[in-house]
Amino acid sequence: MAHQTGIAELDRKFGGGIPPGTLVAVEAPPRAQREPLLCAGAEKRATKYFTTIRSEGTIEKQFERAPVDAAVESISEIHPESASETIPEELSGLGDGQDFIIDVIDPIEASVDQQTYATFLNDLTERLRDSDSVGYLHGYASDKISTQRQVTLDIADFVWRLVPVTSRGEINYMLEIPKTNGLNLPAKDRYLEISIGTGVDIDQTRNIG
């Protein structure tokens, strides 16, 4: 059974949600409010949250302000240089349908060599498939893609990108979905105009076909 993303229109396009055992790479500009997109699914399933740049207290306040009852089971501050060991250890008991978020992945990408990083991501995907869970890796969008970011995108099953669009002085976002392993998503459904506030809304009337 597919796991709901917490975003109704996106789940409809995905045929009910994301396939179990999926690793999702989410790229967003540094100043974009990406939390509602990352955490929408936490209302549906228990989630482990790993933070590499913000404190546990900051993340807790973020969820206190959320309009939904996000089922965040634990929040862990992770040192990037030890992340390839500590995160798999903390996920060793990942339960059935229990998800995780790593926010942000950039410091981990920069802290280890390519082989260690690839092994780390492959270990995560194995744990996800064993537990029928979903994992989200948030990375900052950049014009220059690094070697390690390419590894992230290659190993991830899904790739979501928040692309800023300026209209009449206001910044809105397109959600680009260039990669959906195991799911045949038509081209017309791979570009969605979204509004991000306390939640995520998709504007069906202005999507690119």
pLDDT one-digit tens code per residue, 134-177 = 999 999 998 888 899 999 999 999 999 998 887 776 778 889 99
CA–CA distances in Å: residue 54 to residues 5, 71, 190: 24, 19, 31
Residues sharing a CB contact under 8 Å with residue 135, sequence separation 6 or more, in sequence order: 22, 23, 24, 99, 100, 101, 102, 124, 125, 128
Length of the chain: 209
Predicted structure pTM score: 0.89
Cα–Cα distance for residue pair 125/65, rounded to 1 Å: 31
Average pLDDT, stretch 62-67? 68
Asked whether the beta carbons of 41 and 5 are under 8 A apart, the reply is yes
Cα–Cα distance for residue pair 49/90, rounded to 1 Å: 11
Task: Give the pLDDT of residue 42.
Answer: 76
Cα–Cα distance for residue pair 144/131, rounded to 1 Å: 34
Summarize pLDDT for 105-132 with one digit per residue, the tens. Answer: 999 999 999 999 999 999 999 999 999 9
Phi/psi region, residue 168 (left: phi>0; alpha: psi -120 to 50; beta: rest), is: left
